[in-house]
Amino acid sequence: MTTSNGATTSQHLGVTPPIATSESNPREKEVTSTLLEELKRQGTFESEDESKTREIVLGRIAALVKKFVHTVALREGLSDAAATAAGGKIFTFGSYRLGVHGPGSDIDTLCVVPKHVSREDFFDVFEHMLKDAEGVAEVSGVPDAYVPIIKIKMSGIPIDLVMARLALSTIPDDLSLQDDNLLRNLDDRCVRSLNGSRVTDEILRLVPNVSVFRDSLRCIKLWAQRRAIYSNVNGFLGGVAWAMLVARICQLYPNAVAGAIVSRFFIIMYQWAWPQPVLLKQIEDGPLPVRVWNPKLYPADRAHRMPIITPAYPSMCATHNVTQSTQMIMTEEFKKASEIVDKVIINKASWSDLFAKHDFFHKYRYYLQVIASTGSPELQVKWSGTVESRVRQLVMKLEYVESLALAHPFIKGFEQVSYCINDEEVRSVAQGEVSEAVARRKKEDIEGVEGASAVYSTTFYIGLAVEPKQPGAVGPRRLDISYPTTEFTKLVKMWEKFDEQKMGIVVRHIKSSALPEYVFDDGERQPRLAQKRPKKETTDRSSNTSPDMPNKKPRHSLPKMSTVTLPHETVKVSENGDTLPHHGVTSSVERPATNGLYANNTKDSAEIKSPHLPLGENVAIATATGAP
């Protein structure tokens, strides 16, 4: 570590010594300048006006929290003086606290209150205060969430509010959350709510240069979003995990500029010896009888494929959702990115190449659609969120299917509202078939029409990468995905609030040529080679769905695992949950040769060129010690 007067000390941040402590060379400083220019061109920085609006909004939230605590205190019988002294304070966390938020991004905000304020008060009293506040819109409380939350927009700024109730009579304005003893006598939800703020603050304390960290993280965050690998719920990495990875590279190169950090980031992450954990500091014990990440003690922790461990007590794995498929996808993206940055360094490419849009909807020949539908916008938010949180389970089940090399989940669902005039249209929409007539219809077109209704649907996509055809194999091959899809529908229907009469769930496979227009940007179009085939292809589109009746067995026995069952006609789910009889018919699917991305799993490792650090730098230093 370099001190203010330029002297180098033996102290260092992190669980290992740095890989290099030298300053970056002139070329690395030059590409850092061009990186920051590109990040500005890409619109990752907000305007001064928006920044000022955020500060004003946070000031208003802080005042509202104090008013909320004061109101509840008076109701509990405290004097006015005591109610005023009870205080209340907000802490920001996430991208805003880290200093890497962009235009329109939300502000994660923790409301810390004294012991006389309950969580029920948060949703009964504070939520109503927010609704009555000037300039506040879209107030939505989710008290049953894993981390209970109130989502609002104030002056156009989206804010996610969580609450922690400390075992203190008053919350002073100078309160710090760094003391582990503050976690004593708190329920699990309060500990989880506090954890977001404590982790963010700890990350900032553990990087050698906050400015370099922020510039580097902005780059990595934009890259991960553009490459569609920024999503914790879908098995990739969320914002905190990406921040911890960048922080670790900053620790390993304490005197490097952002361009050098980004370059080393991709190389080291590609070469990282998973499941060796990424740690920003040694895991510590604390005052609570709570579980701390420990693979020696807990089998579930040993199963984590890419463990990235939070630095604040109690330490947890931020990446427990990563699957075999998503790990493969991220590893390949690390490799691609490292090659691009290498070219940037030698002036053979530009930073804009790093931020090129993903090719998810061009990459595979076959996709699964997971369609969640209801007849109400409020219900759809909860139902689609429940389905999305379980898509990862479907991916993990698909990974066990013979001959399926990889199941690639897309990071977001596509929402649609379809206005239907009869039950037949409702059933078709819930099944994923939206006719041109329905697609053109507007809300006013069905007003006053008897039997008309709106269907709210969210469609999630999984790309299917099939292993290459074995030498000597003849004829079409088949892929049996009936078991994973049937088990998945069972799983989502086990949600305690599932209502067969109001919620629909359909899983079906489609060819890339049948992907809907809404998955593409304007002017972007998928290859239409399959359209040259005879039109009869379109007459049995409903054959591409898989069962929505997990308890009803197909009339045909399942073939061996070397063949594929893709049910020819699936259950159609109507708005009210009624189902039609299911007829299971085998449908052969010809597998294309995999020409690219993940075929390299079968290559000899010696044939694959890996990115390397500059001469004299050794990635093994980063993983030499510090593992639990």
Instruction: Give the model's pLDDT for residue 528.
Output: 54
Confidence of residue 609 (pLDDT cuts 50, 70, 90): low
For 109, the 3-state DSSP assignment is: strand
- CA distances from residue 253 to 13, 179, 263, 280, 341 in whole angstroms, order as listed: 10, 29, 11, 13, 17
Marked catalytic residue, from 22, 29, 106, 453: 106
Residue 574 designated active-site: no
Provide the pLDDT for residue 318. 96
Interior angle at CA 537, CA 531 and CA 540, nearest 5: 145
pLDDT band per the 50, 70, 90 thresholds, residue 9:
very low
Q: For a pLDDT cut of 90, what percent of the chain falls above it?
A: 71
Cα(360)–Cα(373) distance, rounded to whole angstroms? 24
Tell me what pLDDT residue 593 has. Answer: 37
Q: Does 93 belong to an annotated binding site? A: yes
Low-confidence winner among 21-35, 132-146, 425-439, 549-563 (lowest mean pLDDT): 549-563
Question: Is the pTM above the cut of 0.95?
Answer: no
Write out the H or E segment, with its range, that includes residue 338: helix 324-345
Kindly tell me if the per-residue pLDDT of 522 is higher than 90. no
- 221 catalytic? Reply is yes
Across 395-403, average pLDDT: 93
Q: What is the pLDDT of residues 546-591, one digit of tens each?
A: 333 333 333 232 222 222 333 332 322 223 333 322 322 222 333 3
Among the ranges given (52-61, 253-262, 279-288), the one the predictor scored with the smallest mean pLDDT: 279-288
Task: Say which of 66, 221, 335, 397 is annotated catalytic.
Answer: 221
State residue 525's pLDDT score. Answer: 67
Distance between CA atoms of 176 and 84, rounded to whole angstroms? 20
Q: Known binder of ligand: residue 68?
A: no
Least confident of 122-131, 249-258, 465-474: 465-474
Question: Residue 179: pLDDT above 60?
Answer: yes
pLDDT value of position 564? 33
Whether the predicted pLDDT of 128 surpasses 70: yes
Query: Each residue of 322-333: pLDDT tens digit?
Result: 999 999 999 999
Identify the active-site residue in 24, 66, 96, 160: 160
160 is catalytic: yes
Q: Check whether 487 has a pLDDT greater than 80.
A: yes
User: Does the pLDDT at position 606 exceed 60?
Assistant: no
Q: Does domain 48-200 have CATH number 1.10.1660.10?
A: no
Q: What is the pLDDT averaged over residues 8-34?
A: 89
The residue to which tokens 């360094």 are assigned: 345
Q: Is 124 labelled a binding residue?
A: no
- Candidates 484, 472, 425, 423; CA nearest to 451 is 423
The pLDDT, as a whole number, for residue 149 is 93
Name residue 50's amino acid. E
Confidence of residue 21 (pLDDT cuts 50, 70, 90): very high
Question: Which pLDDT score is estimated for 305?
Answer: 96
- Return the structure tokens found at 158: 């989206």
Residue 238 confidence (pLDDT): 95
Q: Reading across the β-sheet that carries 89-93, which strands appear in turn?
A: 89-93, 107-113, 157-165, 149-154, 136-142
Indicate the CATH number of 26-41+206-357+617-623 among 3.30.70.1560, 3.30.300.30, 1.10.1410.10, 3.40.190.10: 1.10.1410.10
User: Radius of gyration of the chain from Cα atoms?
Assistant: 27
- Which range has highest mean pLDDT (9-18, 194-203, 422-431, 545-554)? 194-203
Show Cβ contacts of residue 83 under 8 Å, excluding neighbours closer than 6 positions: 69, 70, 73, 74
Residue 95 counted as an annotated binding residue: yes
Distance CA 267, CA 265 (A): 6
Least confident segment among 5-19, 146-160, 485-499: 5-19
* Known catalytic membership, residue 106: yes
Q: Is 375 annotated as a binding residue?
A: no
**Residue 83, both tokens:** 């109610």
Contact indicator for 584, 567 with CB cutoff of 8 Å? yes
Q: Known binder of ligand: residue 413?
A: no
* Fold agreement between 48-200 and 366-591: no
Question: In angstroms, rounded to a whole number, what is the distance separating the alpha carbons of residues 13 and 215?
Answer: 19
pLDDT in tens, 138-153: 898 888 888 899 999 9
What was the pLDDT predicted at 7?
37
Is 107 annotated as a binding-site member?
Answer: yes
Q: What is the pLDDT of residue 381?
A: 87
Give the pLDDT mean for 348-374.
Answer: 96
Q: Is the pLDDT of residue 11 over 90?
A: no
Q: Which fold has domain 366-591?
A: Alpha-Beta Plaits (3.30.70)
Measuring CA to CA, which residue among 182, 58, 55 is closest to residue 113? 182
Distance separating alpha carbons of residues 439 and 93, to the nearest angstrom: 41
Q: How confident is the model at residue 106 (pLDDT cuts 50, 70, 90)?
A: very high
Catalytic residue among 230, 253, 364, 461: 230
Tell which wins on pLDDT, 525 or 345.
345
Name which of 403, 398, 393, 389 is nearest 368 in CA terms. 398
**Residues contacting 457, CB < 8 A, separation 6+:** 371, 372, 373, 380, 415, 416, 417, 418, 429, 430, 432
Mean pLDDT of all residues in 162-167: 96
What b-and-e string marks burial along 308-337, b requiring 16 or more CB atoms within 10 Å of the CB?
A: bbbbbbbbbbbbbbbbebbbbbbbbbbbbb
Residue 419 CB: number of other CB atoms within 10 A?
A: 21
> Is 94 flagged in the annotation as binding?
yes
How would residue 136 be classed by pLDDT, with cut points 50, 70 and 90? very high
Q: What is the mean pLDDT of the chain?
A: 85
| pLDDT of 468 | 84
Q: Which of 95, 105, 315, 338 is catalytic?
A: 95
Could you tell me which residue, 58 or 592, shows the higher pLDDT?
58
Residue with tokens 């379980």: 390
For the chain, the domains span: 26-41+206-357+617-623, 48-200, 366-591
Q: Is 608 annotated as a binding residue?
A: no
360 vs 610, higher pLDDT = 360
Rounded to an integer, the average pLDDT of 498-519 is: 93
> Does 156 count as an annotated binding residue?
no
Position 140 scores a pLDDT of 87
Stretch among 2-6, 463-467, 518-522, 572-576 having the lowest mean pLDDT:
572-576
